[in-house]
Amino acid sequence: MKTTEKSVSDVLDDKKYKYGFQTLIEADTFAKGLNEDVIRAISKKKNEPQFMLDFRLKAYKKWLTMKQPEWPNVHYPPIDFQDVSYYSAPKPKKKLESLDEVDPELLRTFEKLGIPLDEQKKLSNVAVDAVFDSVSVATTHKKKLMEVGIIFCPISEAVQEYPELIEQYMGSVVPVGDNFYAALNSAVFTDGSFVYIPPDTISPMDISTYFRINTEETGQFERTLIICAENSYVSYLEGCTAPQFDTNQLHAAVVELVTMDNAEIKYSTVQNWYAGDMETGKGGIYNFVTKRGKCVGKNSKISWTQVETGSAITWKYPSCILQGDNSVGEFYSVALTNGYMQADTGTKMIHIGKNTRSSIISKGISADHSSNSYRGQVKVNKGAANARNYSQCDSMLVGDKCSAHTFPYIESANSSVQLEHEASTSKISEEQLFYFEQRGISRENAITAVINGFCKEVFKQLPMEFAVEAQKLLTLKLENSVG
């Protein structure tokens, strides 16, 4: 993302949450509350075919029987799901032909975030499907992608135009009743992105969505579905920021990835939702996300890379179901918590096919009063001969009031597997900092160097622009915590 337009000193001066502004445009928002009528209304508003409504209602019925999960190592007052508005769209306007017709207020918002939405700026070679609250307002680079047969559009549009793909794949990786928040999302999701890469296609550019929560007290329920057909490859980027509000906002997204034979999806996230007030812990986003990929085909690969630096509470486990023989799952994560943030994040690697491999690299940094947990599962089914996993999760503590936890679940039901897991916990030692300072490097730079070194294995998995943004974010966030 293009944050480089601002001078570095600007960024550093602005120690508070720099994306804390609210765009004042009229929103078409439903009254608070959830019932079958609300779901029917959402479906009608979106002009959805019958199967979609059935899908939503099935999920809603399932959701009613479920309880909020209590096992994560996070604490928050119970959420009143009737106190949330389930639909919020910028006032509908006529179908937009070019960016000139987009509300200038909106464009300015994106500009502040540094999104190269403007077609003029497409030199950055990133196609952006910008999600403003719940409705996609503009899609760039769509034509160029269309030329090679790649479908990249808002999921609401895909429901209209490619219903057979949606019907076949939506819910195939994350079933409607998978968990409490996935069920809720399946019932009320309003928009998101849909990507289809046809066989034998390497996507000519990275595809990106920028999420943004805008209206106060609006739950955002994104739904992303990426299908990568035989012998294809795509790299998908997702970045999140949200403005500053005092009441907690709920974000319950579902992301589903499907790879066929020899296909590969690389999914990268930089998440920087508003984390609540640094001093009191008030406000912030509840980020309860279900992300899961399924390697359906042989020799396919799914790789998750995430940099989590925001949200009051993060509850997120990007997972891989390694169903095809020889398939590969990867998970690279940096999770930083400070202030009063709580993160319970990790992954699941389910080995089903033969010769499947997975690797997990997780780096947790916790500072101030925050709590940072890694929770990961490696499960090898009986038929998964020669499965191989390597997991490494390191935690770093900054300050003596924070906490770091590791909860791996390693389950094996096959004798030809090789599973390794290691974890360590440590701090930035005074000796390390002294060594830097002794050589004339300031304390702040020293901390940056140590942190970047700690996270290097993950950062090098990120596309260039993301890596730069991620490094900056970490430095910015830790500035007041160390020393």
Partner 1 sequence: MTTTLIDAAEQAEAALLILHKKFMSGNRPPDALAPLNEAALKHFELLKFPHRKHEMYTFVNTKDLVATAFALTAEGSVTEDFIKSHVFPECESSYLVFVDGVLKGDLSDFSAIESAIAIVPIEEAVGQADIKEHLVDTIEKENDVFASINSAFLGEGTLIDVSAKKQVTSPLQILHVSTGTPSGKVTSHPRVLVRLGEMAELKMIVKYVGVQGNYFVNSVMDLLVGEQAGVTFAQVQEDATDAWHFSKTRVLQGRNSRVKAVNAFFGNKLTRHHFEAHLKDVGAELTLNNVSVLNEQEQAHHFVRIHHESPHTRSGQKFKNIVNDKSRSSVDGTVIVNQGAQQTFSDQLINNLMLSDDAHADNKPNLMIFADDVKCTHGATVGQLDENQLFYLKTRGLSEKVAKELLTKSFAESIIQTIDFPGVVQYLENTLLKKLEN
What does the binding site for partner 1 look like in residue numbers (CB under 8 A)? 71, 380, 382, 395, 397-427
Closest distance between partner 1 and the C-beta of residue 391, in Å?
Answer: 9
Closest distance between partner 1 and the C-beta of residue 408, in Å?
Answer: 6
CB atoms within 10 A of CB 400: 7
Q: Burial level of 320, CB count in 10 A (0-12/13-18/19+)?
A: buried
Closest distance between partner 1 and the C-beta of residue 480, in Å?
Answer: 16
Which of 319, 371 has the CB closer to partner 1? Answer: 371
Which of 2, 405 has the CB closer to partner 1? Answer: 405
Which of 172, 377 has the CB closer to partner 1? Answer: 377
Which of 108, 382 has the CB closer to partner 1? Answer: 382
Residues 6+ apart with CB under 8 A from 333: 304, 305, 306, 307, 308, 345, 346, 347, 361, 362, 363, 458
Which of 415, 438 has the CB closer to partner 1? Answer: 415
Please answer whether residues 150 and 237 qualify as being in contact, where contact means their C-beta atoms are separated by less than 8 angstroms.
no
Closest distance between partner 1 and the C-beta of residue 48, in Å?
Answer: 32
One-letter amino acid of 74: V
DSSP string covering 94-158: SPP-SGGGS-HHHHHHHHHHT---SGGGGGG-EEEEEEETTEEEEE-SHHHHHHTT-EEEEHHHH
The kind and range of the H/E element at 266 are strand 264-272
Which of 5, 70 has the CB closer to partner 1? Answer: 70
Please answer whether residues 221 and 253 qualify as being in contact, where contact means their C-beta atoms are separated by less than 8 angstroms.
yes
Closest distance between partner 1 and the C-beta of residue 158, in Å?
Answer: 36
Closest distance between partner 1 and the C-beta of residue 439, in Å?
Answer: 24
Radius of gyration of the chain (CA): 22
Closest distance between partner 1 and the C-beta of residue 127, in Å?
Answer: 41
Which of 124, 392 has the CB closer to partner 1? Answer: 392
3-state helix, strand, coil in the chain (%, to 5): 25, 35, 40
Question: Which token pair is 64?
Answer: 């009613």
Question: Which token pair is 401?
Answer: 């009031």
